[in-house]
Amino acid sequence: MILAIACDLKEQTTFAIVESIPLAPKEESHRVSTLYDTNRIEWNRQEEIAERMIPLIGRLYRADGLVTNLLGRRIINCSPAEILQAHRFTRETGDEILDPEKTYAMLAALEGVPCGPASLDVARLVREFDAENGSWDAAALAGFLRERLAEAIEATRADPTDVVLYGFGRIGRLVARLLIAHQGAGDGLRLRAIVVRRGSADDLVKRAELLRRDSVHGPFAGTIEVDAERETILANGTLIQVIYSDDPASVDYTRYGIHDAIVVDNTGRWRDEEGLSRHLLAPGASRVLLTAPGKGDIKNIVFGVNSDRIDEDDSIVSAASCTTNAITPVLAALDAAYGVERGHVETVHSFTNDQNLIDNFHKGARRGRAATLNMVITETGAAKAVAKALPQLEGRLTGSAIRVPTPNVSLAILNLELGRDVTRDELNAYLRQTALTSPLRQQIDFSENPDAVSSDFVGTNRAGIVDGLATLASGDNRAILYVWYDNEFGYSGQVVRVLERMAGVHPAILPHRVPVHAEAALV
């Protein structure tokens, strides 16, 4: 039996509904003769509870804009097995695995709360309610949710913001997938168009196929339809206008009903204010986000670190690089707890499409050699770029890079001199807790899997993943950390977060996250 508590906060009344939910029938005792049978029956029971969560999760998302997660693991559009896997992850905090029945009860109660858009950690809500209450009482839960979700209850829905993708390469297509997946009630970011140069007579079909199939990230989750006459792509209900142009200033977005759009330039062709300002000459475009390091006075934003620097009057913003996004949150956390005196960053980076499949001319040293056959020593500006997000680290970091024959997922090795002595256990405990509960939880993940390799991190939505088993620290002020990152998908997630902040639609994160203190994390 599951206690499903519904709270009608609009009418300021509460009531409890106790449902006798017909779960998988208990078999006769003589049939439950082995541990195998016992485990199978318990799994079926939990799986059925998870199945009943799915409609609740979907309605909360589509009707209210509530993004539900368990310690940062999203449970939207998940299978029952994936939801139960997210429950297993909750033991990472040192607590018992979250009870799926309590998760179901909390989700049912949330349906009665008149919330605006927010990101809700249901695991924390359950545990905090458990800690404050001896039993799952409807009135107590209603009051608890009123208090914890006051910010979301009072929130008003923002007007939707049009988004245009200028360029449709690796990052452009992944950002498109994320925007489509985040469509929800349609009152946040709306992907309205992509702008490309026409490549062939069947260009539209080819663009749609590249969105539909990806050799690294797998097939598109949903349906895609092409309208050749209107030159549109319909993806999971999102109608995307394909616009062909060779010049940003020549596009009139208002012809397609697009107004005050944020243009995401993922071509990398222009990186300074003069070049990127050409987008602002196009009717219907009001702001620009560059998915590469910006030059000059352009703000380079690493979401979670310096995203509070984004102002309403910023017409051009950069989301920095994938490597800068991977290492800066970790460096920010370390600098806050220990101080970063100096260090060297070595990136072992997957090849990218600016390299050659076979030996050919390239303006850069060594990059002309075959990408799939060689490790290529090259340069990176990521270490110096950290200072644009963390000015206190100006001049303290050097960097170099090695391109390797893998298509995705890279590794940053941070060789650091800290402001005080630290042990390996203390460092790992601090970074683990930072990844679980701190304001940097969306940026940093933590792994201690003894068999983890690069392909295990394909599709990771965090900017960087600390490999705790590889951490080196022996009690002095020297430390070496290994940080994995999906240089495509993880970075694209950061781009979307910057987009949300620029549009003023980044959801409230509840319950509020709290800073982690190094000494307390080790206890």
- pLDDT over threshold 90, residue 256: yes
| pLDDT, greater one: 8 or 383 | 383
473: left (phi > 0), else alpha (psi -120 to 50), else beta? beta
- pLDDT over threshold 60, residue 49: yes
Strand order in the sheet with 397-404: 376-378, 397-404, 340-350, 410-418, 478-485, 464-467, 444-447
> What's the one-letter identity of residue 141?
L
> What is the structure's pLDDT at 519?
63
> What is the structure's pLDDT at 37?
86
User: The tokens 């997000």 sit on which residue?
Assistant: 389
**The pTM is what?**
0.92
The set of catalytic residues is 322
- pLDDT over threshold 90, residue 450: yes
User: Above pLDDT 70, what percent of the chain?
Assistant: 92
SS3 state of residue 17:
strand
Span 246-266, average pLDDT: 98
Q: What is the pLDDT of residues 303-352, one digit of tens each?
A: 999 999 999 999 999 999 999 999 999 999 999 999 999 999 999 999 99
Domain architecture of the chain: domains with CATH: 2-153 (no CATH), 161-292 (3.40.50.720), 322-488+513-522 (3.30.360.10)
Distance CA(236)–CA(64), nearest Å, equals 19
Strand partners, 2: 19
Q: What is the pLDDT of residues 91-147, one digit of tens each?
A: 988 889 999 999 999 999 999 898 889 999 999 999 999 999 878 888 899 899 999
- pLDDT over threshold 50, residue 378: yes
Please give the full DSSP string across 292-322, using - where no structure is assigned.
S---TT-EE--TTTTGGG--TT--EEE---H
Using the CB atoms, write b or e for 220-236: b if 16+ within 10 Å: beeebebeeeeebbebe
Span 415-433, average pLDDT: 98
When pLDDT is cut at 50, 70 and 90, the band that residue 415 belongs to is very high
Give the relative orientation of helices 138-148 and 122-132 as an angle to the nearest 10 degrees. 120
Q: What is the pLDDT of residues 50-81, one digit of tens each?
A: 999 999 999 999 988 899 999 999 999 999 99
| Radius of gyration of the chain measured on its C-alpha atoms | 24
User: The tokens 């070049």 sit on which residue?
Assistant: 275
User: Could you tell me which of 497, 512, 461 has the C-alpha nearest to residue 77?
Assistant: 461
Distance CA(232)–CA(238), nearest Å, equals 10
> What is the structure's pLDDT at 348?
98
> What is the structure's pLDDT at 5?
52
